[in-house]
Amino acid sequence: NISVAITDAFMAALAQNGEYDLVDPRTHHVTGTMRASVIWRKIVHGAWSTGEPGVFFIDRANHFNPVPHLGAYEATNPCGEQPLLPYDVCNLGSINLGAVVTREGDIDWEQLRRAVQFSTHFLENVIDANNYPLPEITFLAQRIRRIGLGVMGLADLFVRVGVPYDSEE
């Protein structure tokens, strides 16, 4: 997955059909300018034709950064779920919702509760068990302790409990 960081300055230039500065990320020097709409059309065409890239509104994310004293976000994880600081990491896992349906077609809420609790504990343990390649990564991983627990199998759950995917229910 690819995410393109979009700044407030880029969006303002796009709204005004203007140009924005091209900045070298290593030196932070302006290396040129370009019309924002040219780049935006390329992003939109790519997203339409291949599903890539996604966009990451980096200035908005940094506005809501819960740990600004540790640094500013500069990227996301590969799938774009989690904004990351330099040297930052996150552990992600998923619970298969299709697996928490009983033979009778009911949701086993207690099994789901246990799966969430166990999975959260597991992801938390991974942080301490992992061997990170750089001390900066170790420091942030153990200090921030980012984990993400998602779900998969929602359509399977709906089929097994008899709820049409497009229903109000």
Residue 1 to residues 15, 26, 50, 66, 99, Cα–Cα distance (Å): 27, 23, 11, 25, 27
Pairing outcome for strands 54-57 and 3-6:
parallel
User: How many residues in total does the chain contain?
Assistant: 169
Cross-strand pairs, 22:
32
HSE (side-chain half, CA atoms, 13 Å) at 148: 13
Is 81 among the residues known to form the active site?
A: yes
Contact 66, 51 (CB under 8 A): no
Q: Is the peptide bond before 164 cis (omega within 30 degrees of 0)?
A: no
Catalytic residue (choose from 81, 125, 130, 136): 81
Between CA 157 and CA 111 the distance in angstroms is 14
Residue corresponding to tokens 């500013």 = 72
Is 79 among the residues known to form the active site?
A: yes
Catalytic residue (choose from 1, 17, 65, 79): 79
Contact 146, 89 (CB under 8 A): yes
Catalytic residue (choose from 1, 19, 52, 77): 77
* Residues noted as catalytic: 77, 79, 81
